[in-house]
Amino acid sequence: MTLAIDVHDLVKRYGKRTVVDRFSLAVERGRICGFLGPNGSGKTTTLRMICGLLTPDAGGGTCLGHDLVHDREAIKRLTGYMTQRFGLYEDLTIRENLEFVGRVYGLDRLKARVDQSLEQLGLTTRQSQLAGSLSGGWKQRLALAACVLHEPKLLLLDEPTAGVDPKARRAFWDEIHTYAAEGMTVLVSTHYMDEAERCHEIAYIAYGELMARGTAEDIIRQSGLFAYIATGPGADRLALKLRDEPGVTAAAAFGTTLHVCGPDRVDLKHAIEPFRSDPNLVWQEAEPTLEDIFIHLMGQARDNAPGAKA
Ligand SMILES: Nc1ncnc2c1ncn2[C@@H]1O[C@H](COP(=O)(O)OP(=O)(O)OP(=O)(O)O)[C@@H](O)[C@H]1O
Ligand SMILES: [Mg+2]
């Protein structure tokens, strides 16, 4: 097994707050690992430690075989990091942005590389347009092109498609898969469940701690959660009634369907019992979704969080 990322027990503290707490992660080469977790849970901090921009307070490991603490320059050369906010210059043209990034990396054959990148993006005819005038989806594709210009082996993408429309997100993900098929490893943070499902595997972090790891199927199988779906007139409106019942972790309406889940099958059945006699509703046991599981894990992490971290 060849690991692109192999880090263990990473810790990052800001003052007295531990924002990343003994975080370990191994990702094989060529895999796309989704990095999920609530706001402020330490995703950006972890990504920055993995690419050598932040020094961990404890822990270590390797990235593409290079030591995380002592070999940071080598790691930076082999890694493409796309920041959470648009990192290019809005008042430079598309071509100028790519050339600028290429010069920062001291790349040879700069013109040829930029030409090829523009061609691949389908932006050759628009290369003189200011980057700031691009739509959100195109900006993100340009940012991705900029971070692969130096042909990295590892891509760290921090919420690359936030606020981008579904068609552009799909194009972005198709590109990520193309890179992975060529052997690139990708660690990508996201809040979107459909994107989590497009990853080979998932790491879920809450308040600095890794809470779940594996393929979507692994995570669903290991969740220990139970779920029911109700369909029929008014099913969606039961969400409000069930949400705070004992044994219910989450109850949500999806269109006209109700989805309810909890960690104990007997308690969950007990909670829905009063509504099962409604002849208009059809109840079915179902698999919990990733979203159910993440909401459940988030609740658990809060319960366990020591005061210092809250
Ligand atoms: N330079 C800093 N100084 C102090 N606290 C910081 C610093 N950077 C991050 N933090 C805190 O560390 C915690 C983790 O932040 P981080 O940005 O890594 O979370 P995140 O998972 O990326 O969140 P989001 O989903 O909102 O992007 C947050 O509580 C944040 O306020
Ligand atoms: Mg972040």
- Could you give the residue range(s) of every CATH 3.40.50.300 domain in the chain? 31-46+76-219
Identify the helix (H) or strand (E) that includes residue 48.
Answer: helix 43-50
DSSP 8-state symbol, 132: G
pLDDT digits 0-9 by tens, 156-197: 999 999 989 999 999 999 999 999 999 999 999 999 999 999
- What's the pLDDT at 303? 65
Residue 276 CA, ligand 1 centroid: distance in Å = 44
CB-based burial, 236-261: b 16+ in 10 Å, e otherwise = bebbeebeebebbbbbbeeeeebbbb
Residue 255 CA, ligand 2 centroid: distance in Å = 30
- What's the pLDDT at 305? 64
Q: How big is the CA angle at 143 (ends 104 and 178), to the nearest 5 degrees?
A: 110
Pocket test for ligand 1, best of 14, 23, 81, 207 (most atoms within 8 A of CB): 14
pLDDT, average across residues 78-85: 93
What's the whole-number average pLDDT of the chain? 93
- What's the pLDDT at 308? 41
Residue nearest atom 24 in ligand 1 by C-alpha distance: 39
Q: Check pLDDT > 60 for residue 309.
A: no
- Helix segments in 211-260, DSSP class H: 216-222, 238-243
DSSP 8-state symbol, 288: P
Burial class (CB in 10 A: 0-12, 13-18, 19+), 41: buried
pLDDT digits 0-9 by tens, 53-62: 999 999 999 9
Residue 279 CA, ligand 2 centroid: distance in Å = 46
Identify the helix (H) or strand (E) that includes residue 194.
Answer: helix 193-196
Q: Check pLDDT > 90 for residue 30.
A: yes
Q: Check pLDDT > 90 for residue 259.
A: yes
- Pairwise CA distance, residues 264 & 225, whole Å: 7
pLDDT digits 0-9 by tens, 227-251: 999 999 999 999 999 999 999 999 9
pLDDT digits 0-9 by tens, 93-141: 999 999 999 999 999 999 999 999 999 888 999 999 999 999 999 999 9
Residue nearest atom 9 in ligand 1 by C-alpha distance: 45
CB of 277 shorter than 6 A to ligand 1: no
Q: Give phi and psi for 69, each to the nearest 5.
A: -95, -40
pLDDT, average across residues 201-222: 95
Residue nearest atom 7 in ligand 1 by C-alpha distance: 14
- What's the pLDDT at 132? 94
- Could you give the residue range(s) of every CATH 3.30.70.100 domain in the chain? 224-287
Q: How many beta carbons lie within 10 A of that of residue 28, not counting itself?
A: 15
Residue nearest atom 2 in ligand 1 by C-alpha distance: 14
- What's the pLDDT at 300? 82
Q: Check pLDDT > 90 for residue 304.
A: no
- What's the pLDDT at 306? 58
Q: What CATH architecture is 224-287?
A: 2-Layer Sandwich (3.30)
Q: Check pLDDT > 50 for residue 282.
A: yes
CATH homologous superfamily for 31-46+76-219?
P-loop containing nucleotide triphosphate hydrolases (3.40.50.300)
